[in-house]
Amino acid sequence: MSIFNYKQRNNIVLVSIIVLGCFLLYALSELFSSILGAIVLFTIFRPFFLWMVEKKRLNATLSALIIIFISLIVIVIPFLSLSIMVIGKIGSINKDAIHIDQWTAKIDAFTGANLNQPHFAEETLQKLGAYGADLFPSILGSAVSIILTLLVMYFLMYFMFTQMRAFETGLLKYAPFREQHALKFAQALRDSTFSNVLGQGIIAITQGVLLAMGFYAFEIPDAIFWGVIGVFLSFLPVVGAPTMCIPASIIFFASGHNVKGILLLAYGLLFIGNIDNVLRVIINKRVGNTHPIISVIGVFIGLPLFGILGLVFGPVLLSYFLLLLEIYETNRLAADRLERIRTGVDT
C-alpha cells in the first residue's frame, strides 16, 4: 500500500505539475514569440475564419490555409521586407559618410550657436545607431531563428483554426474562472488585441505615409525610406514619426532655408502629430479603449524581450495582464459574497 493518503497524493501530483510546467515554460521560452504571435493572429482572423466556414461553407482546412496566406502577404512579408530595407539603407548611409559629416557639421554648428549644444547631432547619431543595433539585431543575423519562429507560429495557428471548437472548449474547461467571466475575458482580449495591433498599426502607417509625403514635398532625399522609419518610430512612446521633422528642419535652418524649416516643423508637429490623436479617438470608439500609459509601458516591456516585435507584443501582453487582474478581482469579490451568504453574515 502507498504511504500517502488521497489528499497527499493529489498535492504531490499538483506540485509535480507545477514544477514540470515551469520547466516546460522555460524550455519553450525561445518560442514564446511564436505562441504569442499565433494567439494574436488567431484573435484577429477569427471573425474572418467563421465567415468563411459558416457563411461561405468553405472547408476549415482551406480556410485556415487562406488565412495563413493572407497574413504572410499582408503582415509578415511586408514587415520583414521593410526591416531588411531599413538595415540595408542604414548600411549604405554608413558607407556614404561624406554627406553625414556635412549634415552633422551643419546641425552641430546651428545647435552650438543657438542651443549651446555643439555636439548635438554627433551624440544623437551615436545613440540612434546603438538603439537601432539593439532593435533590429535578428532581422539579418538570425534568419534560421526567424524561419523557425514563423513555422511554429503558423503550425500552432493552423490547428487553432482547424480545431477551433475543441481549442476554445478546452480553454473554457481549464480556465481558472467561471464561464461567464471567461467569455467576458475573451471579448476584452479581442478588443485589446484589435486596439493595440490593428489600431496602432493604422496610426503608424498613416503617420509614415504623411511623413514620406511631406519629405517628398520639401524635396528631402529618400522620402520613402524616412517614411518607413516613421512607421517604426510611431510605435515608440513619446518619440513618434513627427519627431523626424525636427532634425530635417534643423538642417534647413542650418542651410539658411528658414521658411522651409518653419513649414516642415509645423507640418510635422501640428499636422502629423494631431492625426495620431484623431485616429486614436476613432479607433477607441470602434474597437476598444487602450490607455496611452499601457502603450508606453508596454513598449518598454516588450522591446527587451522581443526586439522590434515588442512594439506590438509589449502593449498586448500588458493589456492581457491587466484583464487577468480584473477577472481575478471579480472572482474574489464573488467568492467573498458567496461565503458571507453561506455563513449568514451578508445582510
Are 205 and 62 found together in one domain? Answer: no
pLDDT at 324: 77
pLDDT, position 129 = 60
Residue 20 lies in a domain: no
Look at residue 4 and give its three-state secondary structure.
coil
Q: Which helix (H) or strand (E) holds 139?
A: helix 138-141
- Which of 199, 229, 200 has its CA nearest to residue 212? 229
Is the domain of 151 the same as that of 247?
no
Per-residue pLDDT at 115: 66
Q: Show the domain range for 149.
A: 33-174
> Does residue 5 belong to any structural domain of this protein?
no
Final residue before a domain boundary, out of 126, 151, 174: 174
**Contact between residue 68 and residue 154 where contact means Cβ atoms under 8 Å apart:** yes
Are 151 and 211 contained in the same domain? no
Is 334 contained in some domain? yes
pLDDT score, position 16: 85
Same domain, 183 and 143: no
Low-confidence ranges of the chain (pLDDT < 50): 95-98, 137-141, 347
Co-location of 267 and 168 in the same domain: no
DSSP string computed for 156-200: HHHHHHHTHHHHHHHHHHH-SS-HHHHHHHHHHHHHHHIIIIIIH
Beta-carbon contacts of 137 under 8 Å, excluding residues fewer than 6 positions away, are 307
135/225 same-domain check: no
| Total domains present in the chain | 2
Q: Which of 147, 174, 201 is the last residue of a domain?
A: 174
The per-residue pLDDT for 170 is 81
